[in-house]
Structures are given as structure tokens and as C-alpha cells.
Structure 1
Amino acid sequence: MAKDKAISVLMCGTFDPRFGRNRQLLRLMKSRNVNVTVKNYSLWSSNKVADVRQGKVQRALRAIAVYGQMIVALLGQTLNPRRRPSVVLVPHPCQFDAVVVGVVCRIVRVPMVIDYFVSLHETVVDDRNIVSSTSLTAKVLRSADALSAKLATLILTDTPEDAEAFAKETSTAPSKWRTVWVGADSDFYQPVSATPAPEKVVLFYGTYIPLQGIDFIVRASLLLPKEYQVRLVGDGQERPRIEKIIHELNAPIELFDSVSEEKLAENISQASVCLGIFGTGAKSSRVIPNKVFQCMAMGKAIITADTPAIRHHLEDAVVTVPAGNPQALANGIVALLEDVVKIRELETGARKLFLEKFDDNKIAPLLVEALQAASGKASVLKEVPLSVMDHLRFALVHRALLLLQPKSILEIGIGQGSFSTRIAQWGQYLGVENNPADAGVAAARLSHFPDAEFRKGGIEQVQPYETFDLVCAFDALENVESDVTALRSWVEHVNEYGSLIMSTSTRNTRYERKGIKKLLAAAEMEEVSIHPYGAIGGHAVEWVSSKLLSRHLRFVQPNSVLIGKLLAVVAVPMKLLQRPFLHTSVGVGWVVVARRKRGAL
């Protein structure tokens, strides 16, 4: 196979190289002939739950030693021109590693991609209940989740649903996240021609974590015909509790310890039907577990919980039942095992869908594209440099985007597209601009964004039936004859549960807080927030501009990347200075967030 655009990857961290996801990433890169160097440092044992419960001093000393060693090796690799990688990949568990590696990568200017396979806070606190949500450990885990995502150039995760949830949780733009499905290793998981067993075997295997909902399987086994054999294979955190439930209920369950992948594939081939997961937590609703992909690869009939992730991506290739419902699970098992035709249809459909969407040949390009994008070997979404004043304003706009998480966006009067190149990363984007000179620049800048569309003209270019989760208009009210009429025309394109973000200057006395509220009411919108921007820092910029620059140069966009970065640095303390004034009227302009009045559509 010919190499993809030449990239070299340093796979670095405290990861377990035997863990399935980490083996998968390495396997996918090698399948595309990517040059991979692995630097693995042992921090975690095979029992990470026990590691978390270790004494704090013991964990801290071990971490200092391991991360010191990692930093030295990372610097040696990245500062040597002959060994310098195109990108550093931090596998699961990535968060603590990524904080350390990310700082080094920023210093040596090497992009970092992380595999955000799980949220540490969600896993340790919400899912496994190892520590309290109010504990210091929980706060540290949440901070590690967020900081690792912010330091990363691009972030991998295993489903679009996880990407959406984690982007919101870590306050990062959705465009920073890429999906690389878990898939299955075809060296182990292939259809096997075997003589059907006379028994009806129901198989579950896993690591006994809460999201798998094994207790529901145990309770469902009590409702099955006696001739059915229910087998649980594996070990993990919840196994003692599950064994206790089995003994208390005298459930007809066969328990087996963990087995090798070769033996696991043999067990799958002998099963009449394989089970997925049945937990009721938020995490369960977003994932497609490894076992489902493996059983699909082997062409087996599968029953799993009906969740958004399963529903959206696996179509009719599996049977679904309500999560956390033993009776529904038992009914589903009986109905399937008594219908041989249905079983054969599922087996064929599962294998077909796996080959179409989740085989290594389909997943590997997703990983390589992400690595290329991070390393600069493929086109990436480039943000246009901002003026200092725009940095102050966009800080509040970005805050609103994190709150609203829009999937479709209309921006009116986009100018040359300085904000557009940031907003277009959040979803399907449409921008309009009627100034011919600005329109040409904006169209060129948006051409790099696959989900963005530009139309030359004003609001009339948007069809009456087109509505959006978010409509934006920045400093546009000052340029219209009737602000009420203009605002109403914009609001027509806000969908039922949509929102509006607009900005305006404080120089016009009509646009004081009371005036803005009155204007929103006239357009049947209700206030979400009205915040001033530019307190102190913006005033300083205006004063300097008025003394040193002609009026029309105050808000000219920087046309150099270097100047843009310099202005971004200058804006940092000013953004901090404006925060204490967000609930006052002190500033050079307003950023307004509003939504439709419920029932107004």
C-alpha cells in the first residue's frame, strides 16, 4: 500500500499497549504505512481502579518520576531534526499525559493529537462511583479533562455522540473533535463456519463496569426458558457484586473468567445470540461498545440497549430493547431465538454493515486524515486573525456558543469573515454579506470550510423556509434604517428553540440595556444575557486609536499571522479586565443573546 502523505507519529504516554483501543490505533496507522515510534512509560497497573485508590503521596512520587522521564525523552525526540515527528499522539488514558505532553509540544511547536476515549471525571465519579463528586479528586479529574482538550491540536473519540458531549463538557469547539470508530481486529474476529450447537447459548462478555448493566442480564436470565444457557465471560470492578446477585437470586448463569482473544472469538462463534450493554447512564447512551463491533465482524446476531448511538449508526443490524429492563431483554432473547430466519437476517446484516462502515479499511482513513490535519499535511480550518477589539467581543460570543451548542448557524453581514471562520466550525453555516469588496474576501475564507456556504447579498438571500439554531448579526443594527424591522426579519430565521446573538456599540444611546430589552420585546424575543465588552481595555484601545490612528483604521483586521498573534497576546489581559464588569453597563459595546419567546413561532 502506498503511504499516505508522509507523516511520522510519536505515540507517547503512560498507556497500556495491550488495551484494545491502543492496539487498534497502532494497527490502523501501520495499515496505512504511517511511520510510528512508540514511547510507553509504566504509570498504571492493569487494575486502574486500585491505582486510583492508592495513597496520594505514593501516586504523586511515581508520577513525578515517570513524567520526568517522559519529558526528557520527548524533548530528545522533538528537538532532533532527524527524529522530530509530524505529530505526537497521546493514547488512552490521555488526560494527565496530555497536560504534560501538551505543554512540551507547545514549547517545541509540535502538534498533539489525543485519544479522548473516556472522560476521567465521568468514568471515576459518575459511572463507577469511586470518589465523591465534591472531592478534590473529582475536581482534579474534571480539570484534567478540560485542560487536556484545550492543549490538544485535534481530539479523537469513538462516536459522534461522545464528541458532542465531550466538546460541551470541556468547553471546546466541536470542530476540534474527530470520530474514529472502535471497530474490531480482523485477525481474531471473522465469520467462522461451524456446526450449530444444539444448545441455545446467550453470551455476554465484558469488564464488569456499571455501564454494561450486567445485573439486568442476570435478572433477565430468571425469565428465560430453562433450556437456554446464559454465559458471562470476564472480570472487573463489579464482578463480586454480580456474583452476589446471582447467588441471592439463584440465577441460571454460567460464569467464566477472562480469556484470550483467540478463545473469546471461539466463544462468540459458539453463541446463538450475543449481548451488548444495558446500562441506563448517560455514558451508555453515547457509546457503541467494542463487543458489538466484534460480534458484527463475526456475523453474529446481537441484542443491545436502544440508545441514540446504536439507533443512529447501526440501523437494523442489531435488535434493540429498552435499557435497564430485564423483562424486555428476556422477551427480546426469546423472540429472537425462536425465529431462525430472523437470526440469519441479523447475522448477514451485521457482517454487511461492519464491512461497509467499521472495517479497518474504512476506519484507518479517518485516523490518518486527523493526523494529517493536525500535522499540516492536510487542509485545516484556519481562523482569521482578529483585532484587539474583536478579541474582546468574541470572548463573549464564544461563551454563548459553548452554552448554545448550535448545529445550524446563519450570520448576517459577515464583513470579511473574521468571526465567520470561528463560528462556521460549530455546525452547518450560512453567511451573507452585501458589500462587494468584503464579500469576495469572505467567500475565499469560507471556501476552506466544508459545512459553510456564502451568499452575496443581504437577508433577502435567505429563503423564508430556512431556519437555524442560531442567527448572528454583529454591529449590524447601526447600519439599518429601522432596527425593529431588521431585527424582526432576522428573527424569522430563528427556529422554534433557536437563539440570536448580536452585538452593538454603546456609543448610540438607543442601545443601552433598557433600550435593547425593549427592542427584543418588539421582535418577540426574550433576553438570555446582555453583557458589555471592552471595559477598561476597550476604552484604552479607543483612546489610543483616536489619538494615533484615523477613525476608519480602528477596526481594520490584521492581515499578518504574526501581527494577529501579537494582538491576541495583547488582548489576553484585556479579556480578564472586562470580566468583573459583565453585569454593569461599563464597556464599549454590547453582546446580546436572546431566544424566541416560547410559542411565538
Structure 2
Amino acid sequence: MRVLVFGTYDAAMHPRVATIAEGLRTSGVDVAECNAPLGLSTADRVAMLTQPWRVVGLLVRIVRCWTVLTRTARRGPRPDAVLVGYLGHFDVHLARLIFRRVPVLLDHLIGASDTARDRRAGGGARGALLSLIDSAALRAADVILVDTEEHLAALPDRHRPRGVVVPVGAPTAWFADRSGSRRLSGPVEPDPSPAARDGGGARAIGGEPGPLHVVFYGLYTPLQGTPVIGAALGALAGSGIRVTMIGAGQDLAEARRAAAANPDVRWLDWVPAAELPGLVAAHDVCLGIFGTGPKARRVVPNKVFQGAAAGCAIVTSDTPPQRRALGDAAVLVPPGDADELAGALLRLAGDRAELDRMRDRAGRLARDRFSPARIVAPLLDRLPGVQDGHGEGRATSTASAGRDSTRHDVDGGRSR
């Protein structure tokens, strides 16, 4: 069984497609990649809605990438299925043209119209156009991947039978970085000390419990509710809780204003993707999302899966998909409630035994349910030739699949 992961996705920006590919390989599927990254973030794409003159540049990029994708795809062996990566609303049509009579799977993690509405740029004619783009992409796919039951229910009736829920999960690298430590002062950095996750609540060099260390990372979109986090941090001024806020984006300025009274908050623009798992693992608590919009109530964010895999206690909003995914392995607070968020962090800071329990529960849940192999289990049932678990692809050993898999990363028309 050979699956080709295809498109202009950027796994460094959006690791979901890499996690799915990793899970398929681990499950014995021969996975190849044909990838020409478009080089635009979600924020860049949304900005084009209010700056239409930039669309010409987008079209030029798409044509260049598609030329390379077409040439690269036609050089390789014919796959049994094609998985179009995240933000593949246009790529799915190219896949359908190149790979006729081959099942095409679309990772529809987010809809274009849904994202634009969440970022306050999707009204009127723009919203109608984006809805058409979403609809055309869904029609082109044989199987539609979504991340929660809520997103499955949101698919139009005619497309829902082709949908399958594949949770976001966490790449193996996040599990591998469970041995982190942190410093009492200065920038919070990963430390490979083997004593890092010994008991005793919040960690500190020397073995004595130190202040609670909390981390958030993200793009500061409305879904993430970072102004709510900022207000909670402002209320925690003087508590001794240390917080690292990583990232930049739409709501950063508002979040910083709300937290301005708290000197124990460190703001970092971003960190390299390879360093992020270790940095997060250096903290006691990882924050999820706290937005109140419709989209925020339908998702389980990647930082929740990743933070749990890194061994942090999780504090996030109490929404149906997050409660279903996390159960009692997270501290859940009402969406948009800064006071409840601040109170939850104070309770964890004051009860080190409970902190240890929550870290342990999150880590166990991640190992049991959030690994790449676990999240792709529902998808395997939709792949041709593996429905009964005895197809040729499933019979291939994991070692052989990993050895035979190839990657076509393309830069300037060259595979590397």
C-alpha cells in the first residue's frame, strides 16, 4: 500500500501532515511525499482578503509550485492513494487531474471561510467566495479528513459520509523531549538533565520546588483567546508564577496590554520548530485556548496534544471536543473567563501533588491516544486495500516502510 502525501503544505509551519505521514509509516504503509511549499502562512493568506492586489503574487507562486509538483509526481511510481496536505483547497484539484482513478484524500483541518470569519475577515462577498472554494475542494475529494466530531458534523450533508475524524495528535519528537528542566531565572530553556521530571511539583534546580512555570505558544488568533490569557496574567501579578508567552499575531498587542502589570511574564517572538518541544517540556503547565467564538468551540488545538505529550499539565477551555479528548487529564475552565483561568493556575501553584497528578494524567493520555500511530487508526479503514487489516500495505513491516519511503522536497525545481 503506497500513499503519496501531496501539495504545497509547509510541515514546518503546520506539522499535522507530517504527523499523519509518520503515523501511516508506523502502521506499515509505504509513504512518499511530493511537496513544494507555497511559503505563505495562514495569516498571509487571510491578509490577501483585505489586500486583493496580493492575489496576483499568490497565483504566480501557485503556478510555480504546481509546475514542480506535476513534474515530480509524474517521475514517481503511481500511488494507491493521494493525501493532500493541510490548506490544500486548490492542491486537491491538481491532485485530481494528475492522479486519475486514484483515491484522493483531503486534510480539511480548517475551512477557508471558517478561518476568515475567525480572523474577522470573512464577511460579505469575500465570505461567499471562500465558501465556494471550500465547497469545490470538498467535492474533489474522495475522503475528507477533519480533526473533531464537531467539524465532521459541520460538513455539508452530501459530503459528511466521506468524512473521517483524525485527531491532530503530536509528533514523536514531542514525546522524546519529556526530559526537560528549567532555570530559576533568565530565559526558560530546555535542559536534558535526567532529574528534570522527578517528583516534587514545580521543578527547580537543586531539587527544591520552585515557582510554577507556565507556557503558551501560538499565533495570537481570536480562536486562541490570548487577551483572556493576558487578563489572567495581569491578575496574577505578584503571585510568583512565571510565564513564557511565545509567538506573534493579531491579538498580541491586546494580550500584552492586559498583562502589563505582571513583570513575571516573558514574551518571545518565536522559537525554531525543532527547539519548541524541549522548551515546552521545560514548563509545568501548557495553556490551550480560551476564545469564545464558534470555531474555538469546535477544535482541540495542537498545543494541547503537544503539551500533554511533553509532560505538562494542561489548562484549557471547557468545550465539548476538548472535554471529550481530555476528560480528567486537563484542568478545564469556562471559555473567555480570565478569573477562572487565573484561579486554576493559582491552585496548581499551591498544590504540588495535584500538579504532579495532572502532569502524569496528561502524559499517560498522550501516550495512549495522541501518538501518530493512534491518530491514523480511523484513516487506515478508509485506505484502499487495508480495510480488513490484511491488505498488502498493512502487511509491510514498519522498518521496511520507513526504509522504502521517500521524500521529494522541492526548492527551485530541484528534489532534495
- In which range does the TM-score fall when normalised by the shorter chain? 0.7 to 0.9
- Contact residue 221 and residue 251 of structure 1 kept, 8 A: no
Secondary structure at the aligned position of 1:315 is classed as helix
- Contact residue 184 and residue 294 of structure 1 kept, 8 A: yes
- 2:51 counterpart of 1:60: no
- Contact residue 307 and residue 314 of structure 2 kept, 8 A: yes
The match for 1:133 among 106, 123, 126 is 123
Assess, with a 3 A threshold, how the Cα gap between structure 1 residues 199 and 263 changes in structure 2: closer, same or farther: farther
The count of aligned residue pairs is: 357
The match for 1:114 among 106, 113, 132 is 106
The match for 2:93 among 84, 99, 105 is 99
TM-superposed deviation, 1:346: 1.1
Secondary structure at the aligned position of 2:328 is classed as coil
How big is each residue's C-alpha offset from its partner over 1:240-293, in whole Å with a ceiling of 9 and x where there is no partner?
44345445x667532112113453333333323221110111111111111111
Counterpart of 2:241 in structure 1: which amino acid?
Answer: Y
User: Which residue of structure 1 lines up, in the alignment, with residue 387 of structure 2?
Assistant: 378
- 2:142 counterpart of 1:142: no
The match for 1:177 among 163, 168, 172 is 163
- 2:178 counterpart of 1:154: no
How big is each residue's C-alpha offset from its partner over 1:6-58, in whole Å with a ceiling of 9 and x where there is no partner?
x1112211111323112212212222332222222243334742663452333
TM-score, length basis structure 1 = 0.55
Assess, with a 3 A threshold, how the Cα gap between structure 1 residues 70 and 217 changes in structure 2: closer, same or farther: same
- Contact residue 12 and residue 40 of structure 1 kept, 8 A: yes
The match for 1:30 among 16, 19, 25 is 25
How big is each residue's C-alpha offset from its partner over 1:205-235, in whole Å with a ceiling of 9 and x where there is no partner?
1222211111111111122251122220123
How far apart are the structure 2 equivalents of 1:173 and 1:290?
Answer: 25
- Contact residue 150 and residue 172 of structure 1 kept, 8 A: no
Assess, with a 3 A threshold, how the Cα gap between structure 1 residues 17 and 333 changes in structure 2: closer, same or farther: closer
Counterpart of 1:118 in structure 2: which amino acid?
Answer: I
Q: Unaligned 5+ residue runs, structure 1?
A: 1-6, 380-601
Identity of aligned residues (%): 30
- Contact residue 20 and residue 375 of structure 2 kept, 8 A: no
Secondary structure at the aligned position of 1:236 is classed as coil
Assess, with a 3 A threshold, how the Cα gap between structure 1 residues 272 and 12 changes in structure 2: closer, same or farther: closer
Assess, with a 3 A threshold, how the Cα gap between structure 1 residues 364 and 323 changes in structure 2: closer, same or farther: same
TM-superposed deviation, 1:72: 5.4
Q: Unaligned 5+ residue runs, structure 2?
A: 180-194, 205-209, 389-416
- Contact residue 199 and residue 228 of structure 1 kept, 8 A: yes
User: Which residue of structure 2 lines up, in the alignment, with residue 330 of structure 1?
Assistant: 342
Counting only pairs closer than 5 Å after superposition, residues 283-322 of structure 1 correspond to structure 2 as 283-322=295-334
How big is each residue's C-alpha offset from its partner over 1:521-545, in whole Å with a ceiling of 9 and x where there is no partner?
xxxxxxxxxxxxxxxxxxxxxxxxx
Provide the alpha-carbon RMSD of the alignment. Answer: 2.5
How far apart are the structure 1 equivalents of 2:44 and 2:159?
Answer: 31
Q: Which has the higher contact order (CA 8 A, sep 6+)?
A: 2
Structure 1 or 2, whichever has the larger Rg, is 1
- Contact residue 23 and residue 372 of structure 2 kept, 8 A: yes
TM-score, length basis structure 2 = 0.78
How far apart are the structure 2 equivalents of 1:55 and 1:360?
Answer: 36
- 2:20 counterpart of 1:10: no
Assess, with a 3 A threshold, how the Cα gap between structure 1 residues 39 and 322 changes in structure 2: closer, same or farther: same
